[in-house]
């Protein structure tokens, strides 16, 4: 039995389906099914009841899940503490947009040498090139020339509408419903960045330019006043929360928001290399986060 077998089993346990767990783990479904069978053979007890595509845990499966979760948590803690001993005293400055600061704090909580610097989205690249930070957490398409990057996570985007907007009655929207709505923009955005921000990077539809904002507060005010709509990553708001005067709706037909770590390509800093490895591992990208 390997640790990955326990992680795979917990994915099936949590998803209630081998096919869904395979998607989450990014592994082939037949291979995952074989792993589950092998795990049952090793333990000598059935762990799952398979019916019509679902995988319901048996009593033995529930016992294993409890113990496996505890074991993996201890392993993760061991890894974090071991890594932390190698980074004490290595000071790394990481700049992140205001909305991603809580995530940045979470990901760096076990990295003693990290300093989080807060900035607005349009200022992050400038900070990096001006040597005001060592690494940035940045979303969406951006000019990556001269940079190395690693994906940290992806988030589905939602739309912010003025409370009382005619589309607020719909529980879910498609980008086609929103093509005539003005979009807030950030200054100094490239054409590629503007299309992504406007939700037009997949089908390249025409869109209307709304007010220019320089802070996240500007965006919220423009939406509250009915001057524009805005697309943001859904993870920015707690589930079910809607800011005053604003309604939040999921949107189909637009690209997700991808968060990346970026640093200067010319960097030879081992501290930055270790920081990047630590953050990507902490984020668990590729494991359904």
User: Domain end: 59, 87, 115, which one?
Assistant: 87
What was the pLDDT predicted at 140?
84
Tell me, yes or no, whether 289 lies in a domain. Answer: no
Whether 275 contacts 103, CB under 8 Å: no
Number of domains in the chain: 3
- Mean pLDDT of all residues in the chain? 89
**Domain check: are 170 and 250 in the same one?**
yes
CA angle 161, 164, 167 (to 5 degrees): 60
Domain, as residue range, for 216: 157-255
> Alpha-carbon Rg of the chain, whole angstroms?
22
Phi-psi region of 245 (alpha: psi -120 to 50; beta: other; left: phi over 0): left
pLDDT at 287 over 60: no
**Domain check: are 174 and 215 in the same one?**
yes
User: Domain end: 87, 120, 135, which one?
Assistant: 87
Q: Which residue has the tokens 């907007």?
A: 165
**Domain check: are 267 and 130 in the same one?**
yes
Tell me, yes or no, whether 181 lies in a domain. Answer: yes
**Domain check: are 250 and 168 in the same one?**
yes
> Cα–Cα distance between 135 and 276 in angstroms, integer?
9
Closest CA to 39 of 14, 15, 75, 10: 10
Tell me, yes or no, whether 65 lies in a domain. Answer: yes
Q: Residues 115-119: what's their mean pLDDT? A: 92
User: Which pLDDT band, with edges at 50, 70 and 90, does 289 fall under?
Assistant: very low
What was the pLDDT predicted at 286?
40
- Threshold 0.85, pTM exceeds: no
Tell me, yes or no, whether 150 lies in a domain. Answer: yes
Structure tokens at 203: 């089908």
Q: What is the CATH number of the domain that holds 171?
A: 3.40.190.10
The DSSP-derived string for 196-252 is HHTT-TTT----EEEEE-SSHHHHHHHHHTTS-BEEEEGGGS-TT---TTEEEEEEE
List, in order, residues 6 or more apart from 17 with CB less than 8 Å away.
53, 54, 55
Q: Residues 120-140: what's their mean pLDDT? A: 91
Secondary structure letter of residue 156 according to DSSP: -
Closest CA to 98 of 135, 127, 124: 124
49 three-class SS: strand
User: Domain end: 37, 66, 87, which one?
Assistant: 87
What was the pLDDT predicted at 112?
81
How does pLDDT run across 212-250, given as a tens digit for each residue? 988 888 999 999 999 999 999 988 888 888 999 999 999
**Domain check: are 69 and 80 in the same one?**
yes
Q: Residues 103-118: what's their mean pLDDT? A: 89
**Domain check: are 145 and 166 in the same one?**
no
The helix-helix angle for 18-25 and 29-43 (nearest 10°) equals: 110
Whether 107 contacts 283, CB under 8 Å: yes
> Cα–Cα distance between 199 and 125 in angstroms, integer?
22
What was the pLDDT predicted at 189?
83
What was the pLDDT predicted at 87?
52
**Domain check: are 262 and 150 in the same one?**
yes
Closest CA to 88 of 278, 242, 260: 278
Tell me, yes or no, whether 35 lies in a domain. Answer: yes
**Domain check: are 7 and 63 in the same one?**
yes
**Domain check: are 268 and 143 in the same one?**
yes
**Domain check: are 207 and 246 in the same one?**
yes
User: Which pLDDT band, with edges at 50, 70 and 90, does 260 fall under?
Assistant: very high
Q: What is the CATH number of the domain that holds 70?
A: 1.10.10.10
**Domain check: are 267 and 244 in the same one?**
no
What was the pLDDT predicted at 261?
96
**Domain check: are 171 and 136 in the same one?**
no
What was the pLDDT predicted at 288?
34
How does pLDDT run across 70-93, given as a tens digit for each residue? 998 888 888 776 766 555 557 899
Whether 227 contacts 160, CB under 8 Å: no
The helix-helix angle for 18-25 and 3-15 (nearest 10°) equals: 120
Give the phi and the psi of residue 130 in degrees, each rounded to 5.
-85, 0
Closest CA to 121 of 223, 201, 215, 229: 215
Q: Residues 275-279: what's their mean pLDDT? A: 91
Instruction: Say what the alpha-carbon torsion angle 128, 108, 287, 277 is, to the nearest 10 degrees.
Output: 60
């Amino acid at each position: 039995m390997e640790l990955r077998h326990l992680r795979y089993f917990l994915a099936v346990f949590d998803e209630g389906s081998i096919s869904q767990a395979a998607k989450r783990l990014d592994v082939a479904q037949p291979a995952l099914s074989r792993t589950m069978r092998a795990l049952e053979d090793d333990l000598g007890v059935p762990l799952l009841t398979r019916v019509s595509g679902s995988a319901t845990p048996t009593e033995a499966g529930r016992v294993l899940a409890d113990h496996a979760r505890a074991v993996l948590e201890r392993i993760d803690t061991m890894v974090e503490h071991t890594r932390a001993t190698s980074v004490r005293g290595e000071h790394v400055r990481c700049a992140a947009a205001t909305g991603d600061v809580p995530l940045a704090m979470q990901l760096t909580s076990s990295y003693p040498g990290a300093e989080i610097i807060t900035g607005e989205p349009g200022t992050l690249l400038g900070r990096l090139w001006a040597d005001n930070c060592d690494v940035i957490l940045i979303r969406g398409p951006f000019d990556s020339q001269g940079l190395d990057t690693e994906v940290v996570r992806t988030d589905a985007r939602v739309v912010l509408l003025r409370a009382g907007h005619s589309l607020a009655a719909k529980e879910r929207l498609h980008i086609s419903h929103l093509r005539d709505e003005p979009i807030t923009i950030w200054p100094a955005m490239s054409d590629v960045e503007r299309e992504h921000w406007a939700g037009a990077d997949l089908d390249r539809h025409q869109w209307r330019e709304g007010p220019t904002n320089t802070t996240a507060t500007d965006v919220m005010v423009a939406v509250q006043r009915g001057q524009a709509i805005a697309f943001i990553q859904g993870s920015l708001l707690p589930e079910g929360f809607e800011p005053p005067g604003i309604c939040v709706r999921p949107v189909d037909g637009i690209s997700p928001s991808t968060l990346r770590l970026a640093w200067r390509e010319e960097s030879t800093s081992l501290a930055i290399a270790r920081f990047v490895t630590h953050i990507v591992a902490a984020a668990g990208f590729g494991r359904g986060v």
